[in-house]
Amino acid sequence: MESGFYGSSLDDSLKCKFEESGLENTHKIMEKAVNWFRSRSIFVVAYGTGCGAIEMPPTFTSRYDAERMGVIGVATPRQADLIILSGYLAYKTLRRVIRTYEQMQRPRYIMTLGSCPINGGMYWDSYNTIKKLDDYIPVDVAVTGCMPRPEAVIDGFVLLQKRIKNGEKAGWEKYDENFEFYKDNQKRVLGGHIDPSYETDWYNLKSGGKA
């Protein structure tokens, strides 16, 4: 899948052009600069999938003020770089989360709050919640706590910023590479009742083709 300029690194054709004109260093510097800028302006869509939604307002308002670090909330997934899944996910929510995640533009990151997405948490024996979220969508940062304090959420932001700055391999790249693996897992747990992937050509859905 083409990542384009908006991927984790500058795209290959641009890299070739730089190399042809003997400017590898410029390319490296530019890549670093892009990563730095990216780490300082994280737009967040906070999907309150569970209890953790209660710690979102304190994190984003004046007491803890995540905006100091360039982290700011937005309303729609299409404008967002980061989706926060705050807490356990019911099967019904997972369907919507996958849909929301696939609508986001690359680069896209996922942060989970609380113990529940990690290994089931309090609801480990509940018949309606997901136990291991990273089987279904790639998780970049997981913050533990029940609920994590706003400090812990900010720690998560700091960790994510560090990862972006260092140009580490992000979850969305894994998702693109192992698309089939994730889709299989999703189908297994959601029982086939799952929306077509967002890359689907919706206008020609009946002829069943990918765009």
Partner 1 sequence: MDLASKLERLSLELVQKQDYLYKVTVNLERLESLLLSFLNEFGYITLDSINCRDDLEDGFFTITYCLQTKKRDHIVMVQTKIQRENASLPTMHTIWPQAEIMEREMHEMFGVDFPGHPTLIDFALEYWDNMPPLRRDFDTLEYVNSMNPFRKQRGDALDAKEEMKKKREAKKAAKLKAEKEAQTKAALEAQNNPSDEVKDEE
Partner 2 sequence: MAIDIKGVLSPLSAIGTLFEHPKTLTYPQAKKDIPVGYRGFHINNLETCIGCASCEEICMNEAIDMIHPDIEYNPKNTSGCVPRIDYGRCCWCSLCTDVCPPSSLKLDNICTHAECDPDNFLYMPKNIKNIGEDVS
Partner 3 sequence: MKNNLENTIKIFHGPQHPGITGNMSVELDLLGETIKRAQTHVGYLHRGFEKLIERRTVVQAFTIVCRICVPEPDPNEENFARAVENLTGLEISEKAKYIRTMVLEMQRLATMFLWMGGQAGSIGLGLIPQWSVCDRDYMLDRFEELTGGRVYHMYAFPGGVRRDLPEGFLERLSDLLDYYEKRIIVYNNTFFDNVIFRKRAIGVGVVNRDDVLKNAYVGQTMRGCGIKKDVRKDMPYLMYDKLDFDIPIQQDGDVYARAIVRRDEMLQSIRILRQIIKQMPKEGEILQKIPKHRKFKLPSDDTYVQTESARGAMSYYMAGDGSEKIRRMQVRGPSLVHAYTLLEKLLVNTELADVAMTMNSLGICPPEIER
Stretch near partner 3 under the rule CB under 8 A, chosen from 19-27, 144-152, 160-168, 173-181: 144-152
List the single partner that 191 binds among partner 1, partner 3, partner 2, none, CB under 5 to 8 Å by kind: partner 1
Interaction between residue 135 and partner 1 (CB under 8 A): yes
User: What distance in Å separates the CA atoms of residue 134 and residue 180, rounded to the nearest whole number?
Assistant: 14
Interaction between residue 81 and partner 2 (CB under 8 A): no
In the complex, minimum distance from the CB of residue 192 to partner 1, in angstroms, rounded to a whole number:
9
Interaction between residue 73 and partner 2 (CB under 8 A): no
Tell me which residue has tokens 């765009």: 211
In the complex, minimum distance from the CB of residue 45 to partner 3, in angstroms, rounded to a whole number:
7
Q: What is the DSSP string of the chain?
A: ----TTSSS--HHHHHHHHHTT-HHHHHHHHHHHHHHHHT-EEEEEE--SGGGGGHHHHHSTTT-GGGGTEEE-SSGGG-SEEEEES--BHHHHHHHHHHHHHSPSS-EEEEESSHHHH-GGGTT-TTB-S-GGGTS--SEEE-SSSPPHHHHHHHHHHHHHHHHTTPPPHHHHHHHTHHHHHHHHHHHHTT--PPPTTB-GGGTTTT-B-
Interaction between residue 68 and partner 2 (CB under 8 A): yes
Interaction between residue 127 and partner 3 (CB under 8 A): yes
Interaction between residue 64 and partner 2 (CB under 8 A): yes
- One residue of 15, 28, 95, 183 binding partner 1 per CB under 8 A: 95
Interaction between residue 91 and partner 1 (CB under 8 A): yes
Indicate the residue among 7 and 150 with the shorter CB distance to partner 2. 150
Binding site for partner 3 (CB under 8 A): 45, 47-51, 53-55, 57-58, 61-63, 73, 75, 77, 88, 90, 92-93, 96, 100, 122-123, 125-129, 146-147, 149
